[in-house]
Chains A and B, each alone.
Chain A
């Protein structure tokens, strides 16, 4: 079993990309269900950590910007660590991520073990 990092990104800024109040409620429920499923299937390799929405970006020395945005409009919504046997399985898991329904995406990275080198 390998460890993968899933990073969720979406556009939290532009108006047309934001769900309605009811849609947001529904969306949050989907996250809850998805996390519940992943933990019930023993797929989480580390406890879920929630992150705030504020953020700061350091661009060059002493140039520190407020907000979680780099160049693009998308910002990190969160990240989890999962157990999967391969990139394929990790992608299949990421396929169920609710961020996709709001036009977001999931970046997947495999953890490198010391033995890999």
Chain B
């Protein structure tokens, strides 16, 4: 039973997003609910049937057969739906009895690719894009998404509902993205995948497995873009490399109690070498063309971080990448990371001078960085900065990290 309990949510989630994508592709975005109802219904039948008769030999095939039948029934039963819908459905015969739900591997991946481009639409906010992607493309429920976002289910539920309504009103056709659409929309798609990954990687949620699943899903969707010749651009490979490098440390960055382990305290043996190798592979693939994207630069920085040993070349390269990154796109975190790299290249005093010019007075990480830089120079000033940081920190995880820094300072005071 316990094996089944583990298996079913995973199987359902995996198949949910596949069947839903194919159905939405068939019906159009305006009929998202119908597609969702058919899949939910299919899973309900599966749960009932399997608990009586045991698991079938091929659960996936079972689900597909039932989903196909339910789709036919839906079309037959609901004449109104059929009358409205059939003209839109691209089928050879207008008879719904002959409608075949194509759940082949090729059609599933085509449908999902089309769905990625439909969901990552700038007409909905990026946080809605992420919630919708998690829901429709990854098969997560509102509760799971809420847990990872550390908010309540209603908020997420409403967010998803509103996003679906907006897409519905826009009545966009879901189709294989054209070359010009890819060029236009790929940036948004990558931003959403990047945010989706970050949501999993940096979330303050204690649910480590769920967060890991988010990261894996972002990587799966990104990999779909790599597998498709039209979307397999250097930038897409660079983002994939970045995700591989980051997730290689997933098991090393939390201890058994679920508390975070800082980079320099991590056990390198827990770093996933296979993911690091994959990261290098994708980074190599990304090194074509003459456009250097922020994903290239961030992947380059992440690649250096897979090598724990500090060398002058390492920090010199990291510093240059941050310089470049900031010129492409300013962000306070990149500015702070640049100063940290600078301290490794030209010492704490120079870095303190540069840090103070940033003057990010409402940013806890600014004061934590000043605390860290001053630790080697003047422990009292360092303590004052850490205390300011503590006052600004919102989450328990952040507060805990700052307190640990303060404790290690006390040995110097």
Q: Helix, strand, loop or mixed for chain B's interface?
A: helix
A114 interface contact, C-beta 8 A: no
With the chains together, A60 CA to B327 CA distance in Å?
Answer: 38
With the chains together, A32 CA to B327 CA distance in Å?
Answer: 11
With the chains together, A48 CA to B323 CA distance in Å?
Answer: 12
Q: Which of B322, B323, B335 contacts A41 (CB 8 A)?
A: B335
Within 8 A of B (CB), among A14-73: 32, 35-37, 39-42, 44, 47-48
With the chains together, A97 CA to B311 CA distance in Å?
Answer: 30
Size category of the binding interface on chain B? 10 to 19
Known: A32-B323, A42-B335. A37 touches B354 (CB 8 A): yes
B323/A36 in contact, CB under 8 A: yes
A44/B327 in contact, CB under 8 A: yes
With the chains together, A48 CA to B329 CA distance in Å?
Answer: 11
B330/A37 in contact, CB under 8 A: no
B338/A36 in contact, CB under 8 A: yes
With the chains together, A107 CA to B359 CA distance in Å?
Answer: 27
With the chains together, A92 CA to B322 CA distance in Å?
Answer: 24
| Central interface residue in A37, A40, A48, by most chain B CB within 10 Å | A40
Within 8 A of A (CB), among B309-338: 322-323, 326-328, 330, 332, 334-335, 338
| A residues near B238, Cβ cutoff 8 Å | none
In the complex, the chain B residue whose C-beta lies closest to that of A32 is: B323
| B residues near A39, Cβ cutoff 8 Å | 323, 326-327, 330
Q: In angstroms, how far is the closest chain A Cβ from the Cβ of B309? A: 25
With the chains together, A41 CA to B335 CA distance in Å?
Answer: 7
With the chains together, A69 CA to B335 CA distance in Å?
Answer: 38
Q: Which of B323, B334, B338, B354 contacts A35 (CB 8 A)?
A: B323
Query: What total count of A-B pairs have CB within 8 Å?
Result: 34
| A residues near B332, Cβ cutoff 8 Å | 42
With the chains together, A40 CA to B337 CA distance in Å?
Answer: 10
In the complex, the chain A residue whose C-beta lies closest to that of B330 is: A42
B357 interface contact, C-beta 8 A: yes
B358 interface contact, C-beta 8 A: yes
With the chains together, A37 CA to B326 CA distance in Å?
Answer: 9
Q: In angstroms, how far is the closest chain B Cβ from the Cβ of A95? A: 13
| A residues near B359, Cβ cutoff 8 Å | 41
With the chains together, A16 CA to B102 CA distance in Å?
Answer: 77
| B residues near A40, Cβ cutoff 8 Å | 323, 326, 334-335, 338-339, 354, 358
In the complex, the chain B residue whose C-beta lies closest to that of A35 is: B327
Q: In angstroms, how far is the closest chain B Cβ from the Cβ of A71? A: 34
A41/B327 in contact, CB under 8 A: no
Known: A35-B323, A36-B323, A48-B327. A41 touches B338 (CB 8 A): no
| B residues near A47, Cβ cutoff 8 Å | 327-328
With the chains together, A42 CA to B330 CA distance in Å?
Answer: 6
With the chains together, A47 CA to B330 CA distance in Å?
Answer: 10
Q: In angstroms, how far is the closest chain A Cβ from the Cβ of B338? A: 5
Q: In angstroms, how far is the closest chain A Cβ from the Cβ of B335? A: 4
With the chains together, A32 CA to B323 CA distance in Å?
Answer: 8
| Central interface residue in A32, A39, A42, A44, by most chain B CB within 10 Å | A39
In the complex, the chain A residue whose C-beta lies closest to that of B319 is: A36
| B residues near A48, Cβ cutoff 8 Å | 327
In the complex, the chain A residue whose C-beta lies closest to that of B359 is: A41
With the chains together, A7 CA to B391 CA distance in Å?
Answer: 43
With the chains together, A32 CA to B321 CA distance in Å?
Answer: 12
With the chains together, A41 CA to B358 CA distance in Å?
Answer: 5
With the chains together, A35 CA to B322 CA distance in Å?
Answer: 12
In the complex, the chain B residue whose C-beta lies closest to that of A39 is: B326
In the complex, the chain A residue whose C-beta lies closest to that of B335 is: A40
One digit per residue, 1 when the CB lies within 8 angstroms of any chain A CB and 0 when it does not, for chain B 342-359 equals: 000000000000100111
Within 8 A of A (CB), among B393-412: none
With the chains together, A81 CA to B357 CA distance in Å?
Answer: 19
| B residues near A41, Cβ cutoff 8 Å | 335, 357-359
With the chains together, A32 CA to B326 CA distance in Å?
Answer: 12
Q: In angstroms, how far is the closest chain A Cβ from the Cβ of B334? A: 8
Q: In angstroms, how far is the closest chain A Cβ from the Cβ of B257? A: 36
| A residues near B327, Cβ cutoff 8 Å | 35-36, 39, 44, 47-48
With the chains together, A89 CA to B188 CA distance in Å?
Answer: 36
Q: In angstroms, how far is the closest chain B Cβ from the Cβ of A80? A: 11
- Having A32-B323, A36-B338, one finds 15 other A-B pairs with CB under 8 Å, namely A35-B323, A35-B327, A36-B322, A36-B327, A37-B354, A39-B327, A39-B330, A40-B326, A40-B339, A41-B335, A41-B359, A42-B335, A44-B327, A47-B327, A47-B328
Chain A interface (Cβ < 8 Å from any Cβ of B): 32, 35-37, 39-42, 44, 47-48
Q: List 11 A-B contacts (CB under 8 A).
A: A35-B323, A36-B322, A36-B327, A39-B323, A39-B326, A39-B330, A40-B326, A40-B339, A41-B357, A44-B330, A47-B327
- Closest A-B pairs by Cβ, 8 of them: A36-B323, A39-B326, A40-B335, A42-B330, A39-B327, A40-B338, A40-B326, A41-B357
